[in-house]
């Protein structure tokens, strides 16, 4: 009998890669998704990679009753990885209530459905909670600063809620994973990032520009206090990120998360500037990029990369894939999308 793991947002970018990793690790993923920012066609893509079409429930997590029915009817579900949330920083500034309502109500639905029950929860958090760190690399004990966006605030407050719940209820074992910048795609090029509209994030814009779907890349500022003037980020391959969720789940199953609540940085520990990433893409793929220097983007922090010591020593996980494989796989996925439609 395989251990079931509920994966909310399991058809999304990071969710789908984690479902593949769960299947590889001999778990039985049960996907919940409202298809708000994902496509049902990803199910078939997962089956092409793994030979398995995972159990799928078309559920909006804000609908408490739908989730409660699923959890009540399947007593064997104790493990949950919670990805489902709105995550566009800019949109959250324009529509804060949409973000607070969705991201908190979905979390409350999960906590209500598991009331009185054992629950191992891996929560999708973000390095955005650090803001611009005072010290780099930034470690998990660094001060969590006032979020720069309602999106970032939903992650900060959710972490506080989960810590309080874990303190009050010893049946709840919870780990928050603070992602740095997820990029790249599965080696099969059958799943990857599917941004809707004009990509807000750097790498999908780079690959769409390289594919001729977009015009030149605009580098948002090259007058920052960094070696080449452009912002620095800790880019992490989405496959490494997915594996971190398996490691977190296994730590929870062993029951030795610190005081039944713990937090881990999930990054590589290395920082790359925007211009260095552009160069890495060109060198790795042989595709020349067309880019221009533009004005700074409001809200951008200058530089952040993670101290990943705790994840290596306590989670027993570290990133394996470098910037070259991040760029190669992102480009291979973009090329797959040139000739394949995912509905």
Give contact residues for ligand WQD (rule: CB under 6 A). Answer: 87, 89, 126, 128, 179, 181, 200-202, 205, 217-220, 231, 233, 274, 297, 300
Is 13 designated active site? no
Task: State the minimum distance, in angstroms, from the CB of residue 140 to ligand WQD.
Answer: 16
CB 230 within 8 A of CB 277: no
Closest to ligand WQD by CB, 188 or 218? 218
> For residue 136, what are the contacts with CB-CB under 8 A and spacing of at least 6?
271, 303, 304, 305
Whether the CA torsion 265, 186, 88, 303 is positive or negative: it is positive
CB 83 within 8 A of CB 12: yes
Cα–Cα distance between 329 and 95 in angstroms, integer? 33
Cα–Cα distance between 244 and 150 in angstroms, integer? 26
Task: State the minimum distance, in angstroms, from the CB of residue 73 to ligand WQD.
Answer: 32
- The Cα diameter of the chain in Å comes to 57
Task: State the minimum distance, in angstroms, from the CB of residue 81 to ligand WQD.
Answer: 15
Closest to ligand WQD by CB, 40 or 198? 198
Of the candidates 213, 195, 108, 197, which has an alpha carbon nearest to the alpha carbon of residue 158?
A: 108
Closest to ligand WQD by CB, 55 or 228? 228
Closest to ligand WQD by CB, 299 or 316? 299
Cα–Cα distance between 7 and 27 in angstroms, integer? 11
CB 214 within 8 A of CB 258: no
Task: State the minimum distance, in angstroms, from the CB of residue 12 to ligand WQD.
Answer: 11
Catalytic-role residue among 151, 261, 272, 291: 151
Task: State the minimum distance, in angstroms, from the CB of residue 15 to ligand WQD.
Answer: 12
| Closest residue to ligand WQD using C-beta atoms | 231
Closest to ligand WQD by CB, 224 or 261? 224
Provide the annotated active-site residues: 151
């Amino acid at each position: 009998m395989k251990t079931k793991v509920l994966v909310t947002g399991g058809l999304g970018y990071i969710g789908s890669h984690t479902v593949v990793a769960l299947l590889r690790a001999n778990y039985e993923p049960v996907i919940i998704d409202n298809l708000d920012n994902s496509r049902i066609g990803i199910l078939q893509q997962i089956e092409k990679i793994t030979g398995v079409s995972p159990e799928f429930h078309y559920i909006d997590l804000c609908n408490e009753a739908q989730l409660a029915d699923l959890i009540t009817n399947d007593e064997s579900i104790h493990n949950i990885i919670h990805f489902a949330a709105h995550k566009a920083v800019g949109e959250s500034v324009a529509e804060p209530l949409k973000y607070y309502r969705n991201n908190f109500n979905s979390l409350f639905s999960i906590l209500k459905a598991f009331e009185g029950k054992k629950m191992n929860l891996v929560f999708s958090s973000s390095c955005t909670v650090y803001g611009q760190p005072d010290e780099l690399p930034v470690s998990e004990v660094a001060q969590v600063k006032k979020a720069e966006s309602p999106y970032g605030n939903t992650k900060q407050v959710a972490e506080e809620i989960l810590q309080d719940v874990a303190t009050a209820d010893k049946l709840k074992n919870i780990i928050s994973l603070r992602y740095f910048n997820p990029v790249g795609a599965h080696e099969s090029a059958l799943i990857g990032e599917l941004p809707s509209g004009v990509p807000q994030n750097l790498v999908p814009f780079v690959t769409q520009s390289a594919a001729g779907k977009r015009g030149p890349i605009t580098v948002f500022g090259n007058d920052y206090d960094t070696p080449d003037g452009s912002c620095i980020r800790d880019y992490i391959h989405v496959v490494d990120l997915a594996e971190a969720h398996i490691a977190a789940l296994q730590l929870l199953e062993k029951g030795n998360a610190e005081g039944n609540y713990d937090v881990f940085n999930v990054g590589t520990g290395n920082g790359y500037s925007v211009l260095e990433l552009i160069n890495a893409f060109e060198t790795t793929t042989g595709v020349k990029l067309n880019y221009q220097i533009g004005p700074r983007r409001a809200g951008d922090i200058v530089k952040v990369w993670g101290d990943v010591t705790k994840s290596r020593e306590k989670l027993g996980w570290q990133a394996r894939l470098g910037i070259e494989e991040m760029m190669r796989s992102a480009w291979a996925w973009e090329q797959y999308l040139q000739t394949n439609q995912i509905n």
